[in-house]
């Protein structure tokens, strides 16, 4: 997860040096693997295009006069979107820019282009290393200060987080902002969402139903009509690029932006492509087909949850959309989806279809249903802001089991002391949890109840709240105390003892232990003639790759493969052994697991 500091500062006042901020987050359990500085732009400034005239000797080039406050310079520009009055990124001679032709950074030199001397360059996003767009120049906001060095105006720091699977909330900028606010004592300000609903009621324009509420816990939608699809404004493109996303168009970019902001995946459908203006969230029919946005036709099973119109699927729920309802240049009306899907089913669908997306990364870990309408309204606001259009009155909100909303967990001061071995006052516990966004109520003088905020899915038991408290006050505050009783002894089982003696004997005989994966390929089994018979090898339903497709019925297949790999790197001799489990089919029952030992020897004198 990439977190641009400029984006983070929109929600929380970050005044710490980048290194100190990264250290505090890491010590609180949100590991910052790296920090990247954006803005190595010497001799680059915010400029204003004063005039644009045709080049006297080239139809596709323009002569531009650019003001950078300290001087006015004449440059030759080939961008089709350059115009007088624009604020632009200007590089003087001597700037170090990315050259798309050579594929590396080069120093800008004076150039004579078709007989005219060019005293610099008006830059595209590609030349500045801010994106892949090379079709036109970057146009800055009208309030960009002319003459200011570009690194001061657009430079940024990006935190690259290496998150543990339980910290789904920190896959969003706001989730990280809440962490920073708790660690620094600063207030977090979430975006204010407000827009006019000038269109007819959405209920009269679309029919939405959830046929399988066990797989779709909540489905919300809004409708924006009369919009114009096109490139996103520069601020939106910049933020997505810094976060590692490629801008596509203003509508799709907003869905990605809000996903990064709130952690809620969204999807936009071309409203005019929906048959009978209907959405049904249902299981796929056996062998039903769908062409997804990546251009692949996929055959579906009844275990797959789809978003369908009145006749056909138009998307894989929580995974990827369908090509037939894709947002394109001619789209003028968008039905925006924000939903909560069953995490297990979403993960299974992604595995079965071998299709991992940013949406599945979030849905498979489980999102709170309270988040769906919050993100929907934010995205609706931004789409109107960047693409125009008229918003229908109201939203659709299908929420069959509302008992899923709102979670409360209790914590006692006594439990805190028992787990941490230290006294923490109830006021301090309240302060820490409230700084993280929890709503706190005192049950009595020694216990609290905490309402879990909508962005946290990892708080379910009392010990989770204990962890939250100690993370923020600091693990180094926990006192070091020697054990007051002897460490209890552990008695090894008879099989563990036997395995140890076998390994010791083989090592004493000069053999070296290897440990292989318990999964093998059919090719490995064929090499040792162990592929069929009454008990064929057991195949995984979702193998990671063809080389790890079957549970091993023997150790020899992987041992010989390891021997061959070692022979390819050295002369030997080789004496290898392995002790591990093999698996034998038992029909409809679980496979029989047997602990066995095997050895292979090769080379001179073995």
Domains and their CATH numbers in the chain: 2-39+156-184 (3.30.56.10), 44-154 (2.40.50.140), 202-402 (3.50.40.10), 408-477 (3.30.56.10), 494-602 (3.30.930.10)
In this predicted model, what pLDDT tens digit does every residue of 65-85 receive, in sequence order?
A: 999 999 999 999 988 899 999
pLDDT higher than 80, residue 333? yes
C-alpha distance across the termini of the chain, in Å: 51
pLDDT band at 266 (very low <50, low <70, confident <90, very high): very high
Return the closest-CA partner of residue 558 out of 593, 542, 582. 582
Question: Per-residue DSSP letters for 225-265?
Answer: ES----PPPHHHHHHHHHTT-----HHHHHHHHHHHHHS--
- pTM exceeds 0.85, yes or no: no
**Which residues, in sequence order, are CB contacts of 142 under 8 Å at separation 6+?**
87
Range in 213-222, 295-304, 481-490, 535-544 the model is least confident about: 481-490
Would you state the pLDDT for residue 433?
95
How far is it, in rounded angstroms, from Cα 159 to Cα 8?
10
Question: What pLDDT, in 10s, does the model give residues 357-384?
Answer: 999 999 999 999 999 999 999 999 999 9
Strands 574-586 and 512-513: parallel
Give the pLDDT confidence score for residue 473 in this predicted structure.
Answer: 92
pLDDT at 527 exceeding the cut of 90: no
Residue 169: exposure state from Cβ atoms within 10 A (0-12, 13-18, ≥19): buried
On the question of pLDDT at 328 being above 80, the answer is: yes
- Alpha-carbon distance 148 to 169, whole Å? 37
Tokens matching residue 283:
């299981």
Tell me whether residue 337 is exposed, middle or buried, using C-beta atoms within 10 angstroms of its C-beta: 0 to 12, 13 to 18, 19 or more.
buried
DSSP code, position 369: T
Question: Is residue 144's pLDDT more than 70?
Answer: yes
**For residue 606, is pLDDT > 70?**
no
Please report the pLDDT score of residue 109 as a whole number.
87
Tokens of 34: 């790296």
pLDDT band at residue 201 using 50, 70 and 90 as cut-offs: very high
Quick check: 224 and 383 in contact, CB under 8 A?
yes
Q: Give the pLDDT confidence of 12-38 residue by residue, as tens digits.
A: 999 999 999 999 999 999 999 999 888
- The count of other CB atoms within 10 Å of the CB of residue 477 is 11
In DSSP notation, 26-92 reads: HHTT--EEEEEEE---TTEEEEEEEEEEEETTEEEEEEEEEE-SS-EEEEEE--TT--TT-EEEEEE
pLDDT > 70? residue 561: yes
Q: Using 50, 70 and 90 to split pLDDT, how confident is the model at 503? A: very high
């Amino acid at each position: 997860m990439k977190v641009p500091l400029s984006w983070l500062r929109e929600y929380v006042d970050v005044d710490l040096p980048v290194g100190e901020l990264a250290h505090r987050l890491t010590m609180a359990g949100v590991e910052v693997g790296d920090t990247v500085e954006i803005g190595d732009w010497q001799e680059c400034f915010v400029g204003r295009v004063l005039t644009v005239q045709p080049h006297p000797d080239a139809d596709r080039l323009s002569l531009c006069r650019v003001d950078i406050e300290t001087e006015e310079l004449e440059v030759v520009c080939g961008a089709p979107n350059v115009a007088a009055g624009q604020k632009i990124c200007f590089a003087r001679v001597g700037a170090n820019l990315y050259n798309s032709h050579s594929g590396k950074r080069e120093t800008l030199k004076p150039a004579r282009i078709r007989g005219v001397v060019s005293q610099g360059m008006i830059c595209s996003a590609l030349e500045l290393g801010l994106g892949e767009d090379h079709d036109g120049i970057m146009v800055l906001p009208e309030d960009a200060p002319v003459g200011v060095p570009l690194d001061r105006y657009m430079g940024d720091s990006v935190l690259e987080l290496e998150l543990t699977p339980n910290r789904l909330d920190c896959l969003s900028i706001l989730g990280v902002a809440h962490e920073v606010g708790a660690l620094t004592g600063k207030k977090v300000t979430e975006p204010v969402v407000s827009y006019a609903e000038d269109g007819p009621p959405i209920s009269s324009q679309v029919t939405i139903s959830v046929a399988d509420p066990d797989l779709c816990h909540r489905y919300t939608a809004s409708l924006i009509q009369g919009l114009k699809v096109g490139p996103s404004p520069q601020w939106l493109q910049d933020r997505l690029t810094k976060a590692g996303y490629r801008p596509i168009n203003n509508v799709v970019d907003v869905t990605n932006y809000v996903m990064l902001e709130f952690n809620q995946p969204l999807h936009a459908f071309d409203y005019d492509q929906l048959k009978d203006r209907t959405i049904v969230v249902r299981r796929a029919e056996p062998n039903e087909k769908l062409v997804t946005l990546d251009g692949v036709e996929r055959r579906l099973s009844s275990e797959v949850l789809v978003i369908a119109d009145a006749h056909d699927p138009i998307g894989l729920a929580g995974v990827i959309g369908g090509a037939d309802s894709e947002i394109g240049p001619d789209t003028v009306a968008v039905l925006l989806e924000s939903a909560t899907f069953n995490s297990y089913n979403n993960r299974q669908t992604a595995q079965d279809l071998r299709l991992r997306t940013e949406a599945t990364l979030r849905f498979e870990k489980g999102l709170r249903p309270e988040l769906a309408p919050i993100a929907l309204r934010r995205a609706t606001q931004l789409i109107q802001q960047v693409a125009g259009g008229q918003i229908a009155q109201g939203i659709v909100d299908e929420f069959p089991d509302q008992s899923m909303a709102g979670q409360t967990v209790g914590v006692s001061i006594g439990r805190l002391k028992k787990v941490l071995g230290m006294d923490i006052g109830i006021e301090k516990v309240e302060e820490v949890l409230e700084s993280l966004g929890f709503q706190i109520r005192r049950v009595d003088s020694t216990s609290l109840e905490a309402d879990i905020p909508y962005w946290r899915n990892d708080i379910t038991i009392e010990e989770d709240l204990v962890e939250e408290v100690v993370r923020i006050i600091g693990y180094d505050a926990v006192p070091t105390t020697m054990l007051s009783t002897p460490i209890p002894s552990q008695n090894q089982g008879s099989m563990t003892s036997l395995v140890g003696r076998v390994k010791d004997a083989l090592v004493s005989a000069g053999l070296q232990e290897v440990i292989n994966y318990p999964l093998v390929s059919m090719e490995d089994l064929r090499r040792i003639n162990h592929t069929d018979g009454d008990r064929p090898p057991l195949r995984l339903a979702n193998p990671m790759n063809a080389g790890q497709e079957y549970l091993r019925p023997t150790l020899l297949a992987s041992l010989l493969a390891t021997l061959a790999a070692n022979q390819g790197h050295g002369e030997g001799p080789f004496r290898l052994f392995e002790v591990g489990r093999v698996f034998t089919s038992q029909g409809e029952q679980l496979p029989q697991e047997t602990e066995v030992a095997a050895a292979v020897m090769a080379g001179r004198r073995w």
